[in-house]
Amino acid sequence: MTRRLVPESIIKPPYAEQGISSVWNPEVPLNSPQDIVGLRKAGSLAKSILDLGQKMCLPGTTTEEIDKALHAIIIAKGAYPSPLNYSGFPKSVCTSVNNVIAHGIPDERPLQDGDIINLDITVYLDGYHGDTSATFLVGEVDEKGKALVECTRETLEKSINICGPGVPFKEIGRVICEHADKYGFSVSEELSGHGIGREFHCHPLIYHHLNDEEGHMETGMSFTIEPILCQGSPMGIMWPDQWTISTVDGGRSAQFEHTLLVTENGFEILTK
């Protein structure tokens, strides 16, 4: 699978050519004022790309067409599409449709009326990553599908609203599960949120399920919260492409994601 080209003039992450992953240092980075400026710019760009992608989520459009268009816009903005060749990922965005939990690879399947699709967008701009995702309705979606998407969006909002200095990371999972359980949805444990900044992924890990992990938020930390809710079993199965993860029972899943900065008085959503 041939990778899309990125101009030489664009600043690229260290893995762009080698296809490696992030360097995981044991400490959680605390961002400097300069870092925060860079994170804000990357987060703002990621959000604008996601908004453009939403407009393409129409019946008849292929996810390959979405990937091609968004790749072109990202590089036109002077940024690198972070997923491209990260640990060998072949495309510039992730497109997860219906029962795909995460990391769906764009392909030639046309979107169909009634589908739900998660677009996961990360950009690398001037040395910083901005990461966001949302699940969109394609055409007319049934009420159960709409309820899944809405509940997932609400879990992200509720978990963000508790963030601030001194808050235990494990509170995020508690809030998400409490709301998901209320509406009969399960919370996937396949993936976690993560620290982000100069590295695509770093500490802290943010678990969305109930957990007893240690650690608490500190001013200057930046990380993603990205809950995935499922209609049936939260268990996932890896496809032969070694990227795509789908539900084991065919139930649909939805995901929403923001990049956050912990501030002295609470939080700042960098991808809003």
Which tokens belong to 64?
Answer: 């390959």
Q: Please report, rounded to a whole number, the percentage of residues in the chain having pLDDT higher than 70.
A: 100
Q: Is the pLDDT assigned to residue 219 strictly greater than 80?
A: yes
Give domain status of residue 137, yes or no: yes
Give domain status of residue 162, yes or no: yes
> What is residue 2's predicted lDDT score, i.e. its pLDDT?
83
Task: Output the domain CATH number for residue 261.
Answer: 3.90.230.10
Give domain status of residue 68, yes or no: yes
Q: For the chain, how big is the Rg over CA atoms in Å?
A: 17
Q: Is the pLDDT assigned to residue 1 strictly greater than 80?
A: no
The reply to whether 203 sits in an annotated binding site is no
Q: Hey, how many other C-beta atoms are within 10 angstroms of the C-beta on 214?
A: 8
The reply to whether 113 sits in an annotated binding site is no
> What is residue 43's predicted lDDT score, i.e. its pLDDT?
98
76-133 confidence digits (pLDDT tens): 999 999 999 999 999 999 999 999 999 999 999 999 999 999 999 999 999 999 999 9
- Amino acid symbol at 73: I
Domain of 133?
A: 30-269
Distance CA 140, CA 118 (A): 16
The reply to whether 208 sits in an annotated binding site is no
Give domain status of residue 233, yes or no: yes
> What is residue 198's predicted lDDT score, i.e. its pLDDT?
97
Give domain status of residue 16, yes or no: no
DSSP states along the chain: -PPPP--TTS---THHHH-------SSPP---HHHHHHHHHHHHHHHHHHHHHHHH--TT-BHHHHHHHHHHHHHHTT-EETTTTGGG--SSSEEEETTEEE-PPP-SPBP-TT-EEEEEEEEEETTEEEEEEEEEE-SS--HHHHHHHHHHHHHHHHHHTT-STT-BTHHHHHHHHHHHHHTT-EE--S--EEE-SSSSSEEEEE--SS-----B--TT-EEEE--EEESS---EEE-TTSS-EEETT---EEE-BEEEEEETTEEEETT-
Query: For the chain, what is the domain count?
Result: 1
Q: What is the pTM of this model?
A: 0.97
Give domain status of residue 13, yes or no: no
Averaged confidence pLDDT in the chain: 97
The reply to whether 194 sits in an annotated binding site is yes
Distance CA 122, CA 119 (A): 10
Q: Which residue has the higher pLDDT, 55 or 23?
A: 55
Give domain status of residue 22, yes or no: no
The reply to whether 120 sits in an annotated binding site is yes
Give domain status of residue 8, yes or no: no
183-216 confidence digits (pLDDT tens): 999 999 999 999 999 999 999 999 999 999 999 9
Q: Please report, rounded to a whole number, the percentage of residues in the chain having pLDDT higher than 90.
A: 98
The reply to whether 268 sits in an annotated binding site is no
The reply to whether 257 sits in an annotated binding site is yes
> What is residue 23's predicted lDDT score, i.e. its pLDDT?
85
